[in-house]
Amino acid sequence: MDIDRIAVHDSVAQACPLEAMVAALQGFGVPVEAVGDDETFDASDCVVTFSPRDAFLDAAWVHGIRAGYDEFDVAAYEAAGTALTNSTGIHGDTVPETVVGYLTAFARRLHVYRDRQRDGDWTQEPYNEPFTLTGEQVCVVGLGTIGQGVADRAAALGLEVVGVRRSGDPAENVERVYTPDELDAAVADARFVVLCCPLTEETEGMVDAALLDEMRDDSYLVNVARGPVVVEDALLAALDDDAIAGAALDAHWEEPLPEAHPLWDHESVIVTPHVAAFTNQYHEDIAALVRENLDRIDRGESLRNRVA
């Protein structure tokens, strides 16, 4: 593969300023330019993008600036012979730090006090509501870059950590690793269930009414994965029926979450607008991945994070 141009698609603006991304990709010995939807591509192009476009299939290599690549048609990339790489590996601090924020808010009731602050309301939570993270159990579903980061931080805070992944292989700071067919058992004792897995045919709808029913009624669901991993109606029903205590949702079924969506008004729900990974260094993190792969191309090596 010979790369003569890095074309930065304007959809990257969904994660970082377009100009910052273009600037961060300079100096790698390949011309860089910002492009929009009217651009055409050829077999000497590398496209750096947030979202897929059919025209990218004409490029040599497409780099998605997200870890999740569920919106890309992997089979079409394979058929076209266009390399597709993703950005797994750069979210090991950002997303886990956000998850620690959710867990701490729920345990220490910070989200409730923030709501009351708007009304100058001094009301204190009932005696039995606040608890400490220490000694509670968290179940981390997906033990990759993000899941491991969550597990490490949770263990440091004194939580007992269990996890789920297909391989079932042990993971650092995780006391028991379950496989997806044991998901019921994995969530049963957890005060927090944190979804850190990709959206795939296997994980779509994984958190359904039956699984929510297996969860403790004082437990919290955290979704930093993708909205459709959770069955929307089942979650809304579980929240309305107090079958679980609350949820923190960064990933949603429709984004932006519609203005009239009932989740906005749930006191026990923290809604964030798909920002768990946001950082003012995102352009640098992506540039480092692209640079590594340009170097690999020069050395005739296979691409890191290649998914097609």
66 sits near ligand 7N6 (criterion: CB under 6 A):
yes
Task: Return the exposure string of 249-261: e unless at least 16 CB atoms fall within 10 Å of the residue's CB, then b.
Answer: bbbbbeeebeeeb
List the one residue from 15, 174, 248, 303 that touches ligand 7N6 (CB under 6 A).
15
Please give the Cα distance from 266 to 268 (Å, whole number).
Answer: 5
Q: Closest by alpha carbon to 147, among 181, 193, 197, 103?
A: 197
Nearest to ligand 7N6 of 77, 282 (CB atom): 282
Q: Are strands 61-64 and 32-35 parallel, antiparallel or unpaired?
A: unpaired
290 sits near ligand 7N6 (criterion: CB under 6 A):
no
Sheet holding 61-64, edge to edge: 32-35, 5-9, 45-49, 61-64, 83-85
**What token pair was written down for 178?**
């379950």
255 is catalytic: yes
Site residues (vs ligand NDP, CB under 6 A):
67-68, 88, 91, 95, 141-147, 164-167, 180, 196-200, 202-203, 224-226, 250-251, 274, 276-277
DSSP 207: B
Name the catalytic one among 255, 267, 301, 306: 255
68 sits near ligand 7N6 (criterion: CB under 6 A):
yes
Please give the Cα distance from 177 to 204 (Å, whole number).
Answer: 21
Please give the Cα distance from 42 to 3 (Å, whole number).
Answer: 10
Nearest distance from C-beta of residue 274 to ligand 7N6, angstroms: 6
Nearest distance from C-beta of residue 66 to ligand 7N6, angstroms: 3
Nearest to ligand NDP of 53, 166 (CB atom): 166
| Residue 282 site contact among ligand NDP, ligand 7N6, none (CB < 5 to 8 Å, cut-off depends on kind) | ligand 7N6
226 is catalytic: yes
Nearest to ligand NDP of 3, 196 (CB atom): 196
Nearest to ligand 7N6 of 68, 228 (CB atom): 68
278 sits near ligand 7N6 (criterion: CB under 6 A):
yes
Check the CA dihedral 177-182-183-186 and report its sign: negative
The amino acid occupying position 191 is R
Please give the Cα distance from 303 to 300 (Å, whole number).
Answer: 9
Site for ligand 7N6 in 87-116 (CB under 6 A): 87
282 sits near ligand 7N6 (criterion: CB under 6 A):
yes
191 is catalytic: no
Q: What are the residue numbers of the active site?
A: 226, 255, 274
Binding site for ligand 7N6 (CB under 6 A): 15, 66-68, 87, 277-278, 282
